Homo-oligomer: A and B are copies of this chain.
């Protein structure tokens, strides 16, 4: 097995193909991680979340990091780390088209981290919803790939 650094294009392909990441935010020097579903569109990762600690923290400090990857085996995997900035997409700010576009991608994917009854449904996107809709604007992506065999 050997490790190699991934190019920006290789990182992009892993992020585009995936839908589950770990997101880290921090407040007062304390980091916090949660799993989250996302959809990549352009240079942004779109996400829905119920209100809570991570939303509160990202509102006070927009710097975030996400990690995602593909794992064929313990000796063959890709891991990407994204550095980016949280941007909330409030309903009042005329982001309806952006919400619907992101939802059309997110709804096709499993929604692991929310209780079924609280899933954001299309009806709620255009009306009142408890969910917070946000994106992470990607500033940097780096990745490492483990390959079977020898260099």
Chain A: residues with CB nearer than 8 A to chain B? 1-3, 22, 24-26, 29-35, 61, 63-67, 69, 74, 77, 79, 81, 83, 110, 112-113, 115-116, 146
Contacts and interface: CB of A to CB of B under 8 A. Distances in A.
Q: Interface majority SS on A: helix, strand, loop or mixed?
A: strand
27 contacts: A1-B115, A1-B116, A2-B115, A3-B115, A22-B22, A22-B33, A24-B31, A24-B32, A24-B33, A26-B26, A26-B29, A26-B30, A26-B31, A29-B61, A29-B63, A30-B63, A30-B65, A31-B63, A31-B64, A32-B81, A33-B33, A33-B67, A33-B81, A34-B67, A35-B67, A74-B112, A115-B146
Nearest to A3: B115
A36 to B, nearest CB: 11
Closest 6 CB pairs of A and B: A24-B24, A24-B31, A26-B26, A74-B110, A33-B67, A22-B22
A73 to B, nearest CB: 9
A29 B58 CA distance: 11
* Oligomer: number of copies: 2
Nearest to A30: B63
Given A115-B1, A116-B1, A32 B65 contact: yes
A63 B27 CA distance: 11
A15 B25 CA distance: 22
